[in-house]
Amino acid sequence: MNSAVKPSDKAAPDFGRALKDGVIIAIIAFALLGPLVGLKTDQNMANELILQNHLGLAAILSAVVGVGRFLLSAFVYPRIAARGNRSKAAATLAELEARARVTRGLSITGLIFLFVYPILIISLFGVQGSIKWVDNYGVQILIYVMLGWGLNIVIGLAGLLDLGYVAFYAVGAYSYALLAINFHLSFWVLLPVAGILAAFWGIILGFPVLRLRGDYLAIVTLAFGEIIRLVLINWKDFSGGSAGISSIPKVTMFGIYSFDVSAPNNFAKVFHLAASSAYYKVFLYYLILLLALLTAFITIRLRRLPIGRAWEALREDEVACRSLGINTTNTKLTAFAIGAMFGGFAGSFFAARQGFVSPESFIFMESAVIVAIVVLGGMGSMIGVALAAVAMVGGTELLRELDFLQVVFGKGFNPDQYRMLIFGLAMVGIMVWKPRGFVSARQPTAFLFKRKTVSGDLVKEGHG
């Protein structure tokens, strides 16, 4: 049935093969999509499950898959093969230097852009219209940039795969929420407290598990992340259970101006501006920007300290490290704790920004998203992580804007529900296409005579 859609008139020999590929793939796709898409289970009025027939849609999708495969086989694969055996790993030094220069230029322009972004947005969309762009895009992406940079210390530098990073994010968020509500402490006091508590939890959780290697470490950290979330759900006296904690105090501008509408020193009132939540959003934007840059700055400095060198050495070869007298447990623990600390900072910021925390915000999927950002960015590369956060979080956020697609796909089409699906596909796609991430050039901090750039392929990923 799907062969009808194929351009079957082309009879060149290699097209024949591609055509066969396409037809086979289309048939396989139909076998899988037929039931899953074509027969949608739905409840009728009597609450019984019935099947709705969408087989036409499944057939169209399968045909699309088949045609896609045909095009790949006919045009893309031959071209890749024709490009020859020039190995991806063997990029020349000049190329790498050029790439590194682009990266450096990009980070400086990016930095300037980040600082003027809210001003730009306000001048474009007005004060009230800026909220969405500053909050949903700016703040949201920067939180993930910060989390990515924090986790980058653990995964990118020390080479420990941590799938439970969201636990420390949760510790930070709940520390701020609980301490601010019960003890009426200010955000500026609690920010370091949240960081210290998260680091403390990093040490507690890290101590027993850091003997483990690679995948095992990943799974144990995943289990710890889930345990913390489940405890937050079930220990209702402490955390409010799955209902969460609401009306968490807002951040004040160092105690001088408040953003509470009722407060006498409300920012808008003092400056005789029209009441709007946009000022708070802009303030939050600069706050998270500074926090993220702090993370980046500390990471860059740490890389040049003995401890940072030890992390990277550990990632390259643990046995060699041990034989050189590096205390691997302590080295791993510091990486874990410092990474956790930044997670805690981000968490307390998150709680203050949302005004509400619940265990729902700290599901495994969040950890997976952060890990994806770090790995897709090219582990260890700061600018790569930032780019990945923009692409993955901002890109999926953009889907919310695609309401015009309702014209094409009919009313009730909600692009937002495809957000995570596309995220997952992007994760797989980027891994297959570029296993080393977006930015795969590295500049080692320790060098002989002259700083050189190396390919990311030369960097190991550590044993855990």
Partner 1 sequence: MLPLGATAGGLNFMEVFVQQVINGITIGSLYGLIAIGYTMVFGIIGMVNFAHGDVFMVSAFFALIFLLLLTSWFGIASMTLALILVMVVSMVLTGLLVWAIERIAYAPLRGSFRLAPLISAIGMSIVLSNFIQVAQGPRNKPIPPVTRDVYTLWEGANGYPVNLSLKQIIIWVVTALLLAAFWYVVQKTALGRAQRACEQDRKMASLLGVNVDRTISLTFVIGAALAAVAGTLFLMYYGVVVFSDGFTPGVKAFTAAVLGGIGSLPGAVLGGLLIGLIETLWGQYVSADYQNVAAFSILVVVLIFMPQGLLGRPEVEKV
- Which stretches of the chain bind partner 1, using CB under 8 A? 28, 31-32, 35-37, 39-43, 47-51, 161, 208-209, 211-212, 214-216, 218-220, 222-224, 226-227, 230-231, 234, 319, 364-365, 368, 371-372, 375-376, 379, 417-418, 420-421, 423-428, 431-432, 435-436, 460-461
Can you tell me which residue has the tokens 């898959």? 65
Strand partners, 43: 49
Structure tokens at 23: 């037809």
41 pairs with which residues across the strands?
A: 51
Least spacing, CB of residue 182 vs partner 1, in Å:
24
Q: How far is the CB of 341 from partner 1 (least distance, A)?
A: 22
CA torsion sign, 133 to 139 to 144 to 149? positive
CB of 184 to partner 1, least distance (A): 31
Quick one: 163 or 352, whose CB is closer to partner 1?
Answer: 163
* Three-state secondary structure call for residue 49: strand
Identity of the residue, 49 or 448, whose beta carbon is nearer to partner 1 in the bound complex: 49
Q: Which is nearer to partner 1, 32 or 405 (CB)?
A: 32
Cβ neighbours of 256 (radius 10 Å)? 9
Asked if 239 and 229 touch (Cβ cutoff 8 Å), the reply is no
Query: 185 — phi, psi (to 5°)?
Result: -90, 155
CB–CB of 282/118 below 8 Å?
Answer: yes
Q: Which residue's CB is nearer to partner 1, number 190 or number 430?
A: 430
Q: How far apart are CA 444 and CA 456, in angstroms?
A: 11
CB-nearer residue toward partner 1: 164 or 249 = 164
Q: What is the distance between the alpha carbons of residues 406 and 383, in angstroms, rounded to a whole number?
A: 36
Which residue, 250 or 332, has its beta carbon nearer to partner 1? 332
Residue 369 tokens read as 């998203």
Minimum CB separation of residue 360 from partner 1 in Å reads 12
Q: Token pair for residue 30?
A: 């139909």
CA separation for the pair 391, 378 (Å, rounded): 13
Closest distance of CB 424 from partner 1, Å:
3
Which has the closest alpha carbon to 425: 399, 407, 461, 402? 399
For the bound state, the minimum distance from the C-beta of residue 81 to partner 1, rounded and expressed in Å, comes to 15
Query: To the nearest whole angstrom, how small is the minimum distance from the Cβ of residue 167 to partner 1?
Result: 12
- Nearest CB to partner 1, comparing residues 175 and 440: 440
Of 176 and 224, which CB lies nearer to partner 1 in the complex structure? 224
Largest CA distance in the chain: 80
Q: Collect all residues with Cβ–Cβ distance below 8 Å to 366 and sequence separation of at least 6.
A: 166, 169
In the complex, the smallest distance separating the C-beta of residue 369 from partner 1, rounded to whole angstroms, is 9
Q: Could you tell me if 30 and 62 are in contact, meaning their C-beta atoms sit under 8 angstroms apart?
A: yes
Distance of closest approach, residue 6 Cβ to partner 1, in angstroms: 20
The residues, ordered by sequence, that sit 6+ positions from 455 with a Cβ below 8 Å of its Cβ are 89, 91, 96, 440, 441, 442
Return the number of the residue (253 or 426) whose C-beta is nearest partner 1: 426
Best CA proximity match to 113, nearest among 138, 144, 88, 87:
138
What amino acid occupies position 256?
I
Q: Which is nearer to partner 1, 41 or 92 (CB)?
A: 41
Query: Closest separation between CB of residue 279 and partner 1, Å?
Result: 36
Q: Side chain identity at 429, as an amino acid letter? A: G
Sequence-ordered alpha helix ranges (H) in 153-242: 166-183, 187-209, 214-234, 236-239
Cβ distance to partner 1 smaller for residue 1 or 39: 39
Give the nearest distance from C-beta 235 to partner 1 in angstroms.
9
